[in-house]
A = this chain, B = another copy of it.
Amino acid sequence: MYLVVQAHLRDGIKSGHWTVGDRLPSEAELVAQFGVSRMTVNRALRELEQEGLIRRQQGAGSFVAPLERVAGTLVIRDIHEEIAARGHRHEAEILQMGERRARRGEAQLLGLETGVRLFYSHILHRENGLPLQLEERLVNPACAPDYLAQDFKLFTPTAYLLQVAPLTGAQYQIEAAAANTEQAAALGLQPGDPCLVIERVSRSPSGTVTWVRLVHPGARHVLTGSFDA
């Protein structure tokens, strides 16, 4: 029944019957109208508030929220999953992989001290043979000591790291940048060509696990999303 109440309110908002700032029926009115208990109506309204569709104020009422921010859930998926979901073939080419001392700033990304040893890998992901993503990654050895022994032609570093160090948080950043010579060579572009770049650090209970920069040819990769009342 709470879904029925929700649908009723959603429809009224979508259709313009109630518009931004309007007051919606009170809980008591909805209880009377639908013949359900107040807990049921309360749940319906509380969930609409969590979605951002309405705003509730104790003592005043429930109101249609100003949807002034276009918000949506942006999902960044594992590249293998993403390609497989399109029914295409995914191949990974390991360009570089090894261990070295952290350069200036790198240690900071992982919350480690400068000069500590860390793992790195550069992997090129192809979709049906076409370069789609260059994955530049730094890994905290404390969280994934066997990282360098893995064969990342069989599974992605993302999948491996999620297995050995459960994700509990992340920060990401999306920008457009010009390909440098190394990136251009890997992706089959000219240096300076526009790329969509996602950078991300991932945390687990045992600390910051990994930093990754995902470089995509601007013409071949878009992020999409939507939201709906």
Contacts and interface: CB of A to CB of B under 8 A. Distances in A.
A178 interface: yes
Which bucket holds chain A's interface residue count? 35 or more
Contact of A196 (B175, B193, B204, B228): B175
Contacts of A129: none
Given A162-B66, A195-B194, A169 B72 contact: no
Contact of A19 (B15, B166, B222): B166
Interface stretch (A74-82, A87-95, A110-118, A130-138): A74-82
Contacts of A226: 169-172
A221 B175 contact: yes
Contacts of A206: 16
The residue in A72, A162, A168, A204 that gathers the most chain B C-beta atoms within 10 A of its C-beta is A168
Contacts of A71: 73-76
Interface string A77-111: 11001000000000000000000000000000000
Contacts of A167: 67-68, 70
A124 interface: no
The residue in A173, A204, A226 that gathers the most chain B C-beta atoms within 10 A of its C-beta is A226
B169 A15 contact: no
Interface in A180-223: 192-197, 200, 202, 204-206, 216, 218-219, 221-223
B73 A74 contact: yes
16 contacts: A15-B205, A68-B162, A69-B76, A70-B172, A169-B229, A170-B226, A172-B224, A173-B224, A174-B196, A174-B223, A175-B223, A176-B196, A177-B218, A178-B193, A194-B194, A196-B196
